[in-house]
Amino acid sequence: MSDKILIAYATKAGSTGEVAEAIAEELRSGGAEVDVSPAKDVKNVSAYTAVIVGSAIRMGKLLSDATKFVKKQQDALGQVPVAYFVVCMTMKDDTEENRHTVESYLDPMREVVEPVDMGLFAGAIDYSKLSFPARTMSRAMKVSEGDFRDWDAIQAWARQVHSRLTER
Ligand SMILES: Cc1cc2nc3c(=O)[nH]c(=O)nc-3n(C[C@H](O)[C@H](O)[C@H](O)COP(=O)(O)O)c2cc1C
């Protein structure tokens, strides 16, 4: 039987969904069957042999759709290997200190279900896609505009996580 993997993601402006799709493509080329869905739309995870949960970061926090999903599915997620990824601007500078900061963003989900792996990725901001409050907030926080997603790093992590999720 081939692996059937769910990628559930939480996004505000779309870039995390595109990262989820890129991970899915890589897993599919490795032979897995993969479904990709916004976390808030997932009803049941019992059909999957492994689950990946991804979230954007806003104001130093995971999006609530991701944390709610993990809490709601806690029992089922405890039965299968789970991996997490985050997409955020802190990873634009891939330093040890920033990795440490971004790993700590994942604590609210890690406290519920411990993952076999974590992908930490730089994200993207297009001010024209943001709501007025979000745009004002990002300007105030001096969050850089631009697309800093490193597709090679995302694909490399997808290959790595595929083998971790299917180790038996
Ligand atoms: C209002 C706002 C607040 C943000 N806060 C943070 C933050 O605290 N830390 C961080 O690393 N990135 C932060 N970001 C960057 C986002 O995580 C990044 O742009 C991500 O790619 C957005 O994902 P999305 O397009 O799926 O919503 C923020 C972006 C916005 C618009």
Ligand 1 atom closest to the Cα of residue 59 is 8
Is any atom of ligand 1 closer than 6 Å to the C-beta of 60?
A: yes
The residue assigned the tokens 């996580």 is 161
Domain regions of the chain by residue span: 4-166
User: Which parts of the chain sit beneath pLDDT 70?
Assistant: 1, 168
Q: How far apart are CA 128 and CA 46, in angstroms?
A: 39
CA pseudo-torsion sign 148, 113, 34, 164: positive
Q: For position 62, what pLDDT does the model report?
A: 98
Is any atom of ligand 1 closer than 6 Å to the C-beta of 89?
A: yes
Q: For position 140, what pLDDT does the model report?
A: 87
At the topology level, CATH places domain 4-166 in Rossmann fold (3.40.50)
Nearest to 143 by CA among 130, 153, 156, 162: 130
For residue 55, how far is its CA from the centre of ligand 1 (angstroms)?
10
For residue 2, how far is its CA from the centre of ligand 1 (angstroms)?
35
Q: How far apart are CA 84 and CA 1, in angstroms?
A: 24
Give pTM, 2 decimals: 0.96
Cβ(146)–Cβ(125) below 8 Å: yes
For residue 70, how far is its CA from the centre of ligand 1 (angstroms)?
20
Q: For position 168, what pLDDT does the model report?
A: 60
Cβ(30)–Cβ(163) below 8 Å: no
Nearest to 65 by CA among 104, 12, 130, 19: 12
